[in-house]
């Protein structure tokens, strides 16, 4: 690995974490170095440089972050509601977080945990300060939790990027689908009733004829894979004629019926008293959840304004991907 004689904007450069330690001695160091074309197991210089870079990264990440009491706010966790009461908030982050109840600021579990992880909030439980691990258990690991781990990961990811994120329930809710006017039911035509009757009983007629030929000793040139009348749905038919068992890796958890979060782009002048229209609506799913059907997407979009952008956050073992469904609803393919 050559010396740092390149700038950070040049192509073909790799990040060198060893300069993180060198920068502390007020040395002018570049954090990027020219990248080798391929790994060379026989190169001792390359192996030593990689080991030095990994050691520097581990050293920096293992250091304890120091903050002053002037920067840390204190909050009391309410076990019944899972809300954290913050009597004296410090900093500008609270302008885009929490909800005011009877003149007091309360934080939702995801908000309190994110602030605690960032070092801006000290959570107390029964008058005693708790650790981050204990806060995770009380806010996300309890049986009566109000938010899932996947939802928190998506919330923390968006907050780290600078987005303003609130629960959908904290904003003015849209009218439920049950209150919307529905089209009157049309009377079924006689032809439709007769067709349904024949479709339901034709299997019985065919099955009776098939059994009659067998009792008469007549040999049919072929026989059906599924005996007519024995199965009543296509799923049962496909299960009967399947040769190789299907590997069903999806769980039985249904798709979400409403968005979990509403998101605004970074805005220094944001006010909770006048939020305005959100830029995105986020629904959180796990990669092991059931796949979306068109009906699920339509139910998600029915509770949103016509101009709202609907995105689905898919969590896969901590990795988060976003699928834009608003494009598909407006006539184009989802992306």
Tens-place pLDDT, residues 49-85: 888 888 888 888 887 777 677 778 999 999 888 999 9
Look up residue 83 and give its two tokens: 């809300």
Nearest residue to 283 via CA among 149, 112, 168, 161: 168
Query: To the nearest 10°, the Cα dihedral for 84, 87, 92, 97?
Result: 30
Residue 103: what are its φ and ψ, rounded to 5°?
A: 80, 5
Look up residue 172 and give its two tokens: 């003015």
Higher pLDDT, residue 160 or 53: 160
pLDDT for the residue numbered 136: 92
pLDDT for the residue numbered 107: 95
Asked if pLDDT for residue 38 goes beyond 70, the answer is no
C-alpha pair distances (Å), 135 with each of 14, 98, 112, 180, 212:
37, 17, 9, 41, 72
* End-of-domain residue from the set 113, 147, 181: 147
Residue 110 lies in a domain: yes
pLDDT for the residue numbered 284: 92
Predicted TM-score (pTM) of the model is 0.61
Print the domain residue range for 103: 73-147
Q: Do residues 94 and 116 share a domain?
A: yes
Residue matched to tokens 């030593």: 48
pLDDT for the residue numbered 9: 42
pLDDT for the residue numbered 212: 74
pLDDT for the residue numbered 262: 93
Q: How confident is the model at residue 228 (pLDDT cuts 50, 70, 90)?
A: low
Q: What's the pLDDT tens digit per position in 14-32? A: 566 777 676 565 444 445 5
Residue 257 lies in a domain: no
**Range in 82-91, 201-210, 289-298 the model is least confident about:** 201-210
Contacts of 18 (CB under 8 A, 6+ apart): 49, 52, 53, 55, 56
Nearest residue to 86 via CA among 107, 101, 110, 116: 107
Residue 114 lies in a domain: yes
Q: Cα–Cα distance between 132 and 117 in angstroms, integer?
A: 7
pLDDT for the residue numbered 135: 92
The most confident of the ranges 16-25, 106-115, 323-332 is: 106-115
Mean of the pLDDT values across residues 231-238? 70
pLDDT for the residue numbered 255: 66
Contacts of 297 (CB under 8 A, 6+ apart): 325, 328, 329
Residue 107 lies in a domain: yes
Q: Do residues 55 and 84 share a domain?
A: no
Q: Do residues 80 and 53 share a domain?
A: no
Q: What's the pLDDT tens digit per position in 255-310? A: 677 789 999 999 989 988 888 889 989 999 888 887 677 777 777 777 777 777 88
Q: Do residues 55 and 108 share a domain?
A: no
* Residue 83 neighbours by CB distance under 10 Å: 23
Nearest residue to 97 via CA among 113, 77, 81: 113
Residue 319 lies in a domain: no
Residue 305 lies in a domain: no
Higher pLDDT, residue 107 or 290: 107
Q: Cα–Cα distance between 278 and 298 in angstroms, integer?
A: 20
Q: Cα–Cα distance between 259 and 165 in angstroms, integer?
A: 12
Q: How confident is the model at residue 39 (pLDDT cuts 50, 70, 90)?
A: low
Query: To the nearest 10°, the Cα dihedral for 312, 317, 320, 326?
Result: -10
pLDDT for the residue numbered 318: 87
Asked if pLDDT for residue 33 goes beyond 60, the answer is no
Query: To the nearest 10°, the Cα dihedral for 125, 128, 130, 134?
Result: -50
CA angle 148, 152, 153 (to 5 degrees): 115
Mean of the pLDDT values across residues 230-252? 62
Nearest residue to 240 via CA among 226, 251, 253: 226
SS3 91: coil
Q: Do residues 28 and 77 share a domain?
A: no
Residues 4, 18 contacting (CB under 8 angstroms): no
Asked if pLDDT for residue 248 goes beyond 60, the answer is no
CATH code assigned at 106: 3.40.1170.20
Higher pLDDT, residue 103 or 182: 103
pLDDT for the residue numbered 176: 39
* End-of-domain residue from the set 223, 241, 259: 241
Mean pLDDT score of the chain: 75
Higher pLDDT, residue 24 or 158: 158
Residue 316: what are its φ and ψ, rounded to 5°?
A: -125, 90
Residue 199 lies in a domain: yes
Asked if pLDDT for residue 164 goes beyond 90, the answer is yes
Count of structural domains, the chain: 3
Q: Do residues 77 and 135 share a domain?
A: yes
Secondary structure element (H or E) that encloses residue 300, with its range: helix 294-302
Look up residue 91 and give its two tokens: 């900093």
Q: How confident is the model at residue 200 (pLDDT cuts 50, 70, 90)?
A: low
With a pLDDT cut of 70, the percent of the chain lying above it is 63
Contacts of 59 (CB under 8 A, 6+ apart): 21
Residues 283, 311 contacting (CB under 8 angstroms): yes
């Amino acid at each position: 690995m050559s010396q740092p004689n390149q700038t950070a904007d040049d192509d073909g450069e790799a990040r060198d974490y060893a300069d993180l330690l060198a920068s502390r001695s007020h040395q002018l160091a570049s954090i990027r170095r020219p990248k080798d074309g391929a790994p060379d197991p026989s190169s001792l210089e390359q192996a030593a440089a990689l080991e030095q870079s990994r050691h520097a990264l581990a050293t920096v990440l293992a250091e304890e972050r120091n903050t002053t009491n002037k920067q840390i706010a204190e909050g009391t966790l309410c076990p019944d509601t899972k809300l954290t009461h913050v009597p004296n908030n410090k900093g500008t982050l609270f302008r885009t977080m929490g909800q005011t109840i009877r003149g007091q600021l309360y934080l939702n579990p995801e908000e309190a945990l994110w602030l605690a992880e960032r070092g801006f909030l000290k959570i107390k439980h029964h008058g005693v300060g708790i650790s981050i691990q204990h806060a995770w258990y009380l806010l996300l690991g309890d049986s009566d939790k109000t938010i899932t781990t996947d939802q928190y990961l998506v919330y923390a990811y968006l907050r780290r990027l600078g987005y303003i994120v609130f629960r959908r329930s904290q904003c003015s809710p849209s009218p439920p689908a049950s209150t919307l006017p529905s089209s009157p039911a049309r009377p079924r035509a006689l032809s439709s009733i007769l067709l349904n009757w024949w479709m339901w009983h034709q299997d019985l007629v065919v099955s009776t004829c098939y059994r009659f030929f067998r009792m008469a000793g007549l040999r049919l040139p072929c026989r059906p894979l599924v005996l007519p009348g024995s199965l009543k749905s296509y799923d049962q038919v496909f299960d009967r004629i399947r040769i190789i068992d299907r590997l069903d890796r999806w769980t039985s958890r249904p798709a979400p019926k409403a968005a979990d979060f509403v998101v605004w782009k970074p805005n220094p002048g944001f006010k909770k008293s006048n939020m305005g229209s959100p830029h995105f609506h986020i629904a959180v799913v796990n990669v092991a959840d059931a796949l979306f059907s068109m009906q699920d997407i339509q139910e998600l979009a029915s509770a949103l304004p016509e101009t709202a952008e609907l995105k689905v956050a898919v969590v896969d073992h901590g990795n988060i991907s976003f699928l834009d469904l608003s494009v598909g609803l407006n006539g184009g393919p989802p992306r």
